[in-house]
Chains A and B, each alone.
Chain A
Amino acid sequence: MASNPSVSGPFGPLEKKALTRLGDVMVPGGEGFPSFSELGCIDHVNDFACVAPLEDIRALSRVLKALAIAPGFCLRALCWAMLNADRFPFFLATPLRQLNIGLRGLIVTPYFASLTSSDFTGATPHEVMDFSLNRLRD
């Protein structure tokens, strides 16, 4: 689904760059699926970020700015650590879980909800999964 993405919002180019890089680790493409960056759902990220509490977005923004320039192996390590947060001591486990939920909410959910950039022309995730809902109105 392509819609009019917000042109402004809490996340600027640096945060979007980090989210796109993380998105390509979480959803790299394959088996017919486009990658996160190919689908272009980053265009919608500010629509989701704006409903979260402002202090959460500010904290996430700081993390993303650092991740925008982090080497790729750091992003892969972070994705593993977030999913295995329970293995870490409490003071690390809590922020890792929070980060995992926040990032998956901004990357994984919009991707599999088939939100695309306006110029995306390939098969959407819904089409790859052969998923549709029949909405009868009458």
Chain B
Amino acid sequence: MAAKADYDFLIIGSGSSGGVLAGQLQQAGAKCVLLEAGQRYTAKSFPQNEAIGSAQLLWNGGLDLDTRGAMAFLRGRCVGGGSVVNQALMNRLDREALESWRAVSGIDSFSEARMDRWYTRAENGLALREIGGSDRNRNARIFEEGHKKHGLDYVSLRRAQSDCATDRGNDCMACLNGCHRGSKQDMSVTYIARGEQAGLKIVSEFLAERLECGSDVVTVYGHRGDRIEEFSAKKAILACGALGTPQLLLNSGFGERLPALGRHFTAHPQQMCFGIFEERIDAHKGAFQALASSGPEFKRWRFKLENVFAPPGAVAMIAPMYGAELLHYMKKYRNLACIEVALRAETEGTLRTDKSGRLQIEYSLCDADKRRGAEAARLVTQMLEASGAERVVKTWLQYCLHLMGGCVIGTDGKDAVVNEQFQVYDHEDLYIADSSIFPNAPGINPALTIMALSHQLADALSG
């Protein structure tokens, strides 16, 4: 155990939670160190090839799998974390989602009125833009047509971006490997950059492996390259996300005192459906994501649809074919349109670690979620066919980008890991405000809510 605390706060993980907390606390006068397992990139150094990008910017190359090999979980591994590789969609949770959280967690602050202050702070920390009608490419138009023909509603997406220059021909899909323009408002160009100006210390390529809590000091041990290093602070904030945060706590032996650790893991399982059209769609051009479904029907059905696309390597990876059939399909890449299904899954999974410390993700969709997924895929098929698709291809692999739970927040330490003050039960110097504390899957993009909760914690910690 290190003898003394070198910092006021050590923050492990630099995504939407760790980035906000490190930036805000440092600017408030605290001495912070931000630890990140991945490398640090700039707009000029992000990998341009998609396969190299996946290998360098995602944990395990983007191929974290559940124990059955049926679901892939994607999470960012670089300074800025998931905010570098996500679509930067920024939505508040609606009343229904917050009421559900309040009911499950017993925490009254989950209400639109009481969350407004924190959402506003998060929104003020970024440049936000609504993707306007003029930015909608042919893929988005097909999405519109499909919804109109089915009498269903849709809305424009709000994105954290400053100047994507799609009107001048920039193709935003490139920013899935990090934004080459510095337009996407990822943590590295916003909160972390502001924190660094105030003296924030950033340590990249440090893999946190074990945590120890003393009476007035918290120490994290890990590897940086071949070297074992340790960092100590008065308080620690875990911000490694819904897989990394529970894994670190489990590997540090916290499971014995935290019975809920690793439980209530949730996600928004996603599946892409591609329509093959006779004409060119060019879904990869311009603002490649612009619209999402909306309205009471989708709430009732517990899924939503988004117009989105993917680069060739990813499209081929999840195509349910190989050989000559795959080549024939990929030859029509520019003729593909895509609508993605995202489930507000009821399924809860469990996270464990094995003897080597490796995470075991047990997550198998319940029958109701499988049924919803099939219904959603049927609806999307009808939409694409109604717009002229010759054939619709559903991907063989489901994947999850929104990972939540595993250290859920609640008023009962027997069924929660974190209390209303974001403190880990029985460990008053340990805090979590990342998506691992989400009480359930809200069915809404989680990034802004992670940031809002992190603002709330930053405010409390900076007095």
Which A positions have Cβ atoms within 8 angstroms of B? 1, 3, 25-33, 44, 47-48, 51-53, 55, 79, 83, 85, 90, 93-98, 100-102, 104-105, 108-115, 125-126, 128-131, 133-137
Contacts and interface: CB of A to CB of B under 8 A. Distances in A.
Contacts of A134: 169-171, 285
Given A126-B312, A129-B333, A136 B52 contact: no
Chain A interface main SS type: helix
Interface in B44-72: 48-52, 54-56, 60-63, 65, 67-70, 72
Nearest to B288: A133
Contact of A97 (B60, B68, B320, B324): B68
Interface in B319-337: 320-324, 326-328, 330-331, 333-334
A47 B56 CA distance: 9
A79 B65 contact: no
Most buried by B among A30, A51, A112: A112
Contacts of A33: 327, 330-331
Given A94-B68, A101-B72, A113-B50, A30 B326 contact: no
Contact of B49 (A28, A31, A104, A113): A113
A27 B327 CA distance: 7
A125 B60 CA distance: 25
B165 interface: yes
Contacts, number: 148
Interface string B367-407: 00000000000000000000000000000110000000000
A2 B58 CA distance: 22
B159 interface: no
B312 A83 contact: no
29 contacts: A3-B49, A26-B323, A26-B326, A27-B323, A27-B326, A33-B327, A33-B331, A51-B56, A51-B60, A52-B60, A55-B356, A94-B68, A95-B69, A97-B65, A101-B69, A102-B63, A109-B51, A109-B313, A109-B314, A109-B316, A112-B313, A112-B330, A113-B312, A115-B51, A125-B330, A131-B333, A134-B169, A136-B169, A137-B180
B64 to A, nearest CB: 9
A26 to B, nearest CB: 4
Given A109-B317, A112-B330, A135-B171, 8 more contacts: A33-B331, A44-B51, A94-B69, A101-B63, A111-B313, A112-B315, A135-B170, A135-B180
A75 B460 CA distance: 59
Interface string B109-126: 000000000000000000
B63 A52 contact: yes
B173 interface: yes
B311 interface: yes
